[in-house]
């Protein structure tokens, strides 16, 4: 009798379990958490860059006192970039992602003239601190690019999961999932910045 009842319960539960498995009960949160982890990697690399910049600015200040506007622009851009944050809950908000990308883009643009200062100050090239910091900054820029690429791949996988059958059922009925926003460079990133040190500009 117990065996018969167990078989009936199993016969009833198996389709439910299969349905839930097919609807992305596990794959949706897995993909979502992976995308959030990749976003944390992006933020970590941007924080690394923000932490390096004050040291680079301080090193350059001793050599390039007349280039105050370059140093001020970098310092202000860094402050602005560190104020704009995107939490995991905002990954579905394109406006929040746009604000973050714009702030980071302004900082990227401000760093370029700072790195070019060494061309005007040959003795700066021989400063070990400057060269080490610049090397770390360049390495961080590469890490940022890799982290953004990995985040976008994770977002693509998540967005594909919640939009394809049968997981779309679980995404809408169980989780109420929304598509995440991939990281996109701002429009100005498509054009090379102009760097000029003429007349202290």
pLDDT, tens digit, 9 for 90 and up, residues 45-89: 999 999 999 988 888 877 766 677 888 888 999 999 999 999 999
Contact 64, 70 (CB under 8 A): yes
Q: Percent of the chain having pLDDT more than 70?
A: 79
Q: What is the pLDDT of residue 128?
A: 80
Its pTM stands at: 0.74
Q: What is the pLDDT of residue 94?
A: 94
Q: Which two tokens stand for residue 129?
A: 């601190």
Please say if the pLDDT value at position 44 is more than 60: yes
Q: What is the pLDDT of residue 38?
A: 96
pLDDT band at 199 (very low <50, low <70, confident <90, very high): very low
**Length of the chain counted residue by residue:** 201
Assign domain 44-191 to its CATH superfamily.
Answer: LemA-like domain (1.20.1440.20)
Q: What is the mean pLDDT of the chain?
A: 81
Angle between helices 94-120 and 27-61 (to 10 degrees): 30
Q: What is the pLDDT of residue 39?
A: 96
Please say if the pLDDT value at position 195 is more than 50: no
Q: Which two tokens stand for residue 19?
A: 């349905």
From the number of C-beta atoms within 10 Å of its C-beta (0-12, 13-18, 19+), residue 7 rates as exposed
Q: How many CB atoms lie within 10 A of CB 96?
A: 17
């Amino acid at each position: 009798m117990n065996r018969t009842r167990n078989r009936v319960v199993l016969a009833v539960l198996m389709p439910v379990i299969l349905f839930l498995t097919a609807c992305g009960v596990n794959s949706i949160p897995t993909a979502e958490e992976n995308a959030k982890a990749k976003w944390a990697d992006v933020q970590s690399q941007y924080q690394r860059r923000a932490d390096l910049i004050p040291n680079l600015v301080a090193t350059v200040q001793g050599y390039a006192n007349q280039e105050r506007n370059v140093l001020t622009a970098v310092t202000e851009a860094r402050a602005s970039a560190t104020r704009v944050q995107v939490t995991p809950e905002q990954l579905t908000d394109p406006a929040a992602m746009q604000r973050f990308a714009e702030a980071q883009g302004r900082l990227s643009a401000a760093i370029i003239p700072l790195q070019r200062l060494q061309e005007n100050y040959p003795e700066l090239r021989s400063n070990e601190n400057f060269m080490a910091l610049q090397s770390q900054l360049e390495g961080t820029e590469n890490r940022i690019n890799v982290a953004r690429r990995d985040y976008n791949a994770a977002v693509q996988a998540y967005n594909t999961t919640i939009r394809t059958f049968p997981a779309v059922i679980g995404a809408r009925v169980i989780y109420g999932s929304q598509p995440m926003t991939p990281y996109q460079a701002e429009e100005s990133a498509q054009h090379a910045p102009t760097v000029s040190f003429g007349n202290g500009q």
